[in-house]
Amino acid sequence: MSINFLLIFFSILAISSCQYEITKRAFVVISGNFGENIISGNVMFQQLNSDLLEITVSIQGIPPNLGPFLGFHVHTNGILSSSQNAAERCKSAGTHFNPLNSTHGDISSPIRHMGDYGNLFVNQDGTISQTFTDRISSLLGPFSILGRTVLLHEKQDDLGLDPNNENSKVNGNSGSPIACGVIGVWS
């Protein structure tokens, strides 16, 4: 093996290892139901740097008549009841996480709740398998989402864009929860 090759090899190794330093991560066990359909999965959060959070969602069991777009948010409280029914169990998570008292929007909107992640895409087999990043919500600092709840809804989020519905700028009219879970420490 030539010296040049080794130099290049170790340079690439050094660059790739310091590009993203994962400073913190969190894990959510997602569970719920829509009628008789049992929904389950998980969400992984990785804080790639101080203003870049990567979110990886893996959910299965969503009935094919729902979707293909379903509202997905961080809600304020990490409190879930013991109800067997997700619509009931996830309710105590409260409203969209909104520490800066903003109005509802999409993940890419300049004005949005900190917990607004827009819609997730449901595959034809009733699964969600999606990775995205966000620069607003964070596992760090005074507005950390750790210990709060991620919540999947039964309908598409209107992203605050429906002028004929007063709830549009409050919650995006995405209907009842069908699955949720508390964002837990993953050391």
- Give the nearest distance from C-beta 16 to Cu ion in angstroms: 36
Spatial separation of the C-alpha atoms in residues 45 and 27, rounded to whole Å? 6
Could you tell which of Zn ion, Cu ion, none binds residue 151, using a CB distance below 5 to 8 A set by kind? Cu ion
Where along the sequence are the contacts to Zn ion (CB under 5 A)?
Answer: 96, 104, 113, 116
Is 112 a binding residue for Cu ion by CB under 5 A? The answer is no
Nearer to Zn ion, 89 or 112 (CB): 112
Distances (CA, A) of 25 to 86, 112, 116, 120, 148: 25, 23, 19, 21, 14
Binding residues among 149-168 for Cu ion as defined by CB under 5 A: 151
Nearer to Cu ion, 48 or 161 (CB): 161
- Give the nearest distance from C-beta 151 to Cu ion in angstroms: 4
- Give the nearest distance from C-beta 8 to Cu ion in angstroms: 48
- Give the nearest distance from C-beta 69 to Cu ion in angstroms: 13
Nearer to Zn ion, 63 or 94 (CB): 94
Q: What are phi and psi of 136, to 5 degrees?
A: -100, -55
- Give the nearest distance from C-beta 41 to Zn ion in angstroms: 21
Binding residues among 64-83 for Cu ion as defined by CB under 5 A: 73
Nearer to Cu ion, 63 or 175 (CB): 175
Buried residues in 109-145 as b, exposed as e (16+ CB within 10 A): beebbbbbbbbbebeeebebebeeebebbbbeeeeeb
Nearer to Cu ion, 125 or 166 (CB): 166
Would you say 89 and 32 are in contact if contact means Cβ atoms under 8 Å apart? yes
Look up tokens 């008549």; give the residue.
65
Q: Which residues in this chain contact Cu ion in the complex, by CB under 5 A? A: 73, 151
